[in-house]
Structure 1
Amino acid sequence: MKSFKVALLLTLFFMSTQVFSQDVVGTWKTLDEKTGKPASYIKVYKNKKGVVFGRIVKILDPQKRNNRCDKCDIKSNGFAKKGDKVEGMLILRGLTKDGDEYNGGQIFSPRTNKIYKCYIKLESRNKLKVRGYMGSRYMGGTRYWYRLN
């Protein structure tokens, strides 16, 4: 009976750590700021050192799928150059884990050719808070991405 209780407690412990240790890695759906409709899929991944990056893997509007970055300037942004396809573009880089969030990185807006400081945090298993800002964290914009897988 004692070994059964120990096995049960161990099972519950490992199940609970899996629930609470959800990761930001995966494919996330973004929403259009104006319409609220799904806009793109972003693949968030880590390199060998655990640093987080994100890339646009699919633009959902077929008319925008072949859009190119007409304002991009690799010299000023370090992300993309003029004429690069937006689909496939790296937009998130350099985030490292700090407690329950990832920060210290940057997010890039191909629409404006602007780079913002960034942090991301899981609000729930399937909802990711993405905050871009200049200067103070309190002066910026927040978007929510929704997990696909």
Structure 2
Amino acid sequence: MYLIFYDAVMDDVMDREMMTKIFLKKVNSMVLCTGLCFSSFTYAADTVGTWKTIDDKSGFARAKVKISEESDGTFSGKIIEVFPIPQQSAEHIPEKCLRCTGELKNKPIIGLNVIKNFKLNPKKTSEYIGGSVVDPISGNIYKGKIRLSRNQNRITLRGYVGTSILGRSQTWIRSE
């Protein structure tokens, strides 16, 4: 009789231990998933800020662009400062987007929305897609893709026509 009682108690204790282990595994999994979700949102949000654009042809800093998140969840960027190329006077900096077309024609360069409608890529949290890029010197408008570096201090902006193979990239550096 004592042996039957002992077996029943031990089965009950073992069931509780097993249930506790299963419960703890599920809690740990939920905590891990929650942490990963929040870390991806943090990573994505770090594109917001001020960036120094580096001309891919000359290698010189050309402007500062402030990227912000719009109310519809897309990202856009406006020029807030323009730099002259070394050995050129400030007179060579255009004040208006003379070669732009449509609503951007003759708009001031300072305040010009040069990137717009970028959305976070649901497959890659460090990439933004579906937006457009304006080159204020040529007036051309390109499709674009933005990639945030692992250290979150650089972005690579790729402007292209048709497919991203037919385009060029610029690296922008985070500016304080």
Name the TM tier (shorter chain).
0.7 to 0.9
Deviations 1:32-56 (A, max 9, x none): 3343222110001111222000111
Q: 1:3: which partner in 2?
A: none
Q: 5+ unaligned residues in a row in structure 1: which ranges?
A: 1-9
Determine if contact 1:28/1:42 at 8 Å carries over to the other structure: yes
State, as a whole percentage, how many aligned pairs show the same letter: 28
Deviations 1:11-38 (A, max 9, x none): xx69x938x7252100000123343222
Q: Does 1:142 align with 2:169?
A: yes
Distance 2:92 2:80 in 1: 13
Secondary structure class of the residue paired with 2:99? coil
TM-score scaled by length of structure 1: 0.77
Match runs of 1:28-107 below 5 Å: 28-61=51-84, 62-64=90-92, 67-74=95-102, 78=103, 80-81=104-105, 83-98=106-121, 99-100=124-125, 101-107=127-133
In angstroms, what is the RMSD of aligned CA positions? 2.6
Displacement after TM superposition at 1:121 (Å): 1.0
Instruction: Select which of 109, 113, 123 maps to 2:149.
Output: 123
Aligned length: 134
Q: 5+ unaligned residues in a row in structure 2: which ranges?
A: 1-31, 85-89
Match runs of 1:5-20 below 5 Å: 17=39
Instruction: Select which of 83, 103, 114 maps to 2:140.
Output: 114
TM-score scaled by length of structure 2: 0.66
Distance 1:133 1:66 in 2: 24
Displacement after TM superposition at 1:65 (Å): 5.1
Which has the larger strand fraction?
1
> Structure 1 51/64 Cα, relative in aligned 2: closer, same or farther at 3 Å?
farther
Q: Which of the two has higher C-alpha Rg?
A: 2
Displacement after TM superposition at 1:114 (Å): 1.1
Determine if contact 2:55/2:170 at 8 Å carries over to the other structure: no
Deviations 1:87-136 (A, max 9, x none): 21111011101122110110011212211110101023101010011111
Which has the larger helix fraction?
2
